Amino acid sequence: MSEVACVDLFCGAGGLTHGLLLEGIKVVAGFDVDAACRYPYETNNRAARFIEKDVKDVTPAQLRKLYGSAKIRVLAGCAPCQPFSAYSQRYDTLTSPRWPLLYQFARLVKSVRPEIVIMENVPLVEKHAVFDDFIATLRKLGYKVWQGVVDCTQYGLPQTRRRMVILASLIGPIELISPTHKKPQTVRGAIGNLSLIEAGGADQADTLHASSRLSILNLERIRASSAGGTWRDWPADLVAECHRRDTGRTYPGVYGRMTWGSPSPTITTQFFGFGNGRFGHPEQDRAISLREGAILQGFPRKYVFVADGEAVRFKALGRMIGNAVPVTLGKIIGRSIMQHLGTDVMTEGGAADDTRTPLVA
């Protein structure tokens, strides 16, 4: 639809962009400071251009040029969530350079006045003044605002993930589509048929289906673990010293296996490590692979993250995958926008409902 053009700030590897494209929204560009994201972003989203730039250096004139003559301009800003995340209890939000990112996003909204604005972050963002200021800015500019915490399992993501989403429109009232799934998708349904690999091994046909190595001690630990169990089920000699102390006994979710019949836990940037959460494979004696983490984030199985022959770096790819907006959530947002635009734009561009893709691949 040439009438709609989107720019994706903080685009990362392209989770949101890919979801929007699958729903018929043309994404013309994505901005991010992480140069490693360029290859997956442009390879999988060929209509979109990757621009390596800090959001504070993005100018309104640059955005206007990218939008061209589009009738409906969409600006997405899913800023890094670390300052607001429950997983970052020690994160210094007052001195972090990431703290003002929502204000930079608001700066561009005020200058460009795009017809539609998208924001996504962790639910705890609403406890911070920057969130209230952002909402107030939108309303002062005349936007109709929808905000809510989205349980992604209700839309087919096989992962327990709750996200704050804001949709704002100058056209009229806008809202997220109703839940599409009565029953959650499961780990088995998502990754149950991937090939068997060992800890430290990889599938020759898919270098991203690679699992991190395990020490001899952690190999013993995962062999003593059952799906859905905890380290409390282990023999005493396998329990880490920190968990034997009173302060450590409240973290049963680390060193755990996923269960086949449920969604996965929230995929973090360190999901590839057995000791970093309940990231053990339900049956195989290893942590889930990078590919499995990407699938649980809604990425298609053939989504490319590294070029042929390039080394698979777990930390870099784990950060890229874990930080991504799930593709499924991107599709939900995209479908909501297309539904919102139905009577205003679609009469010129053609109906989108006939070509939209399933929320779960």
Query: What is the per-residue pLDDT across 26-60, written as a single tens digit (0 to 9) for each?
Result: 999 999 999 999 999 999 998 899 999 999 999 99
Q: Does residue 197 lie in a domain region? A: yes
Q: Does residue 358 lie in a domain region? A: no
Please state which of the ranges 25-34, 227-236, 255-264 shows the lowest mean pLDDT: 227-236
Q: Does residue 355 lie in a domain region? A: no
Percent of the chain's residues with pLDDT above 90? 75
Residues 142 and 249 in one domain: no
* Residue 224 confidence (pLDDT): 87
* Residue 234 confidence (pLDDT): 78
Residue 296 has pLDDT above 50, yes or no: yes
Residues 166 and 295 in one domain: no
314 vs 256, higher pLDDT: 314
Q: pTM score, two decimals?
A: 0.89
Residues 275 and 334 in one domain: no
Q: Encode 90-112: b = buried (16+ Cβ within 10 Å), e = exposed.
A: eeeeeeeeebbbbebbbbbbeeb
Q: Does residue 175 lie in a domain region? A: yes
255 vs 169, higher pLDDT: 169
Residues 152 and 254 in one domain: no
Contact 126, 229 (CB under 8 A): no
Domain range spanning residue 294? Answer: 187-322
Residues 21 and 167 in one domain: yes
Neighbours of 10 (CB within 10 A): 24
Residues 36 and 160 in one domain: yes
Give the residue-averaged pLDDT of 237-253.
Answer: 64
* Residue 232 confidence (pLDDT): 78
36 vs 244, higher pLDDT: 36
Mean pLDDT score across all residues of the chain: 88
Q: Does residue 42 lie in a domain region? A: yes
Please state which of the ranges 50-59, 111-120, 215-224, 351-360 shows the lowest mean pLDDT: 351-360
Q: Does residue 333 lie in a domain region? A: yes
Residues 201 and 282 in one domain: yes
Percent of the chain's residues with pLDDT above 70? 85
Residues 74 and 142 in one domain: yes
Q: Does residue 262 lie in a domain region? A: yes
The 3-state secondary structure of the chain reads CCCEEEEEECCCCCHHHHHHHHCCCEEEEEEECCHHHHHHHHHHCCCCEEEECCHHHCCHHHHHHHHCCCCEEEEEECCCCHHHCCCCCCCCCCCCCCCCHHHHHHHHHHHHCCCEEEEEECHHHHHCHHHHHHHHHHHHCCCEEEEEEEEHHHHCCCECCEEEEEEEECCCCCCCCCCCCCCCCCHHHHHCCCCCCCCCCEECCEEEEECCCCCHHHHHHHHCCCECCCHHHCCHHHCCHHHHCHHHCCCCCCCCECCCCCCECCCCCCCCCHHHCCCECCCCCCECCHHHHHHHCCCCCCCCCCCCCCCCCHHHHHHHHHCCCCHHHHHHHHHHHHHHHCCCCHHHHCCCCCCCCCCCC
Q: Does residue 357 lie in a domain region? A: no
Domain count, the chain: 2
Residue 176 has pLDDT above 80, yes or no: yes
Pairing of strands 162-169, 144-151: antiparallel
- Measured between its terminal Cα atoms, the distance across the chain in Å is 23
pLDDT tier for residue 4 given thresholds of 50, 70 and 90: very high
Q: How far apart (Å, rounded) are the C-alpha atoms in residues 312 and 207?
A: 7
By annotation, the residues acting in catalysis are 81
Residues 146 and 230 in one domain: no
* Residue 236 confidence (pLDDT): 74
* Residue 156 confidence (pLDDT): 97
* Residue 354 confidence (pLDDT): 36
Give the residue-averaged pLDDT of 309-329.
Answer: 96
Give the residue-averaged pLDDT of 116-122.
Answer: 96
The CATH number of the domain where 175 resides is what? Answer: 3.40.50.150
Residue 118 has pLDDT above 90, yes or no: yes
Residues 163 and 228 in one domain: no
Q: Hey, what amino acid is at 353? A: D
| Burial class, 321, CB count within 10 angstroms (exposed 0-12 / middle 13-18 / buried 19+) | buried
Q: How far is CA 168 from CA 22, 134, 190, 203, 263, in A?
A: 21, 11, 32, 43, 30
Contact 174, 166 (CB under 8 A): no
| Burial class, 181, CB count within 10 angstroms (exposed 0-12 / middle 13-18 / buried 19+) | middle
| Of 39, 38, 48, the residue nearest 18 (C-alpha) | 48
* Residue 242 confidence (pLDDT): 66
Residues 191 and 253 in one domain: yes
Residues 154 and 252 in one domain: no
Give tens-digit pLDDT for 68-95. 999 999 999 988 744 444 444 444 444 4
Give the residue-averaged pLDDT of 208-222.
Answer: 95
* Residue 31 confidence (pLDDT): 98
Give the residue-averaged pLDDT of 211-226.
Answer: 92
pLDDT tier for residue 238 given thresholds of 50, 70 and 90: confident
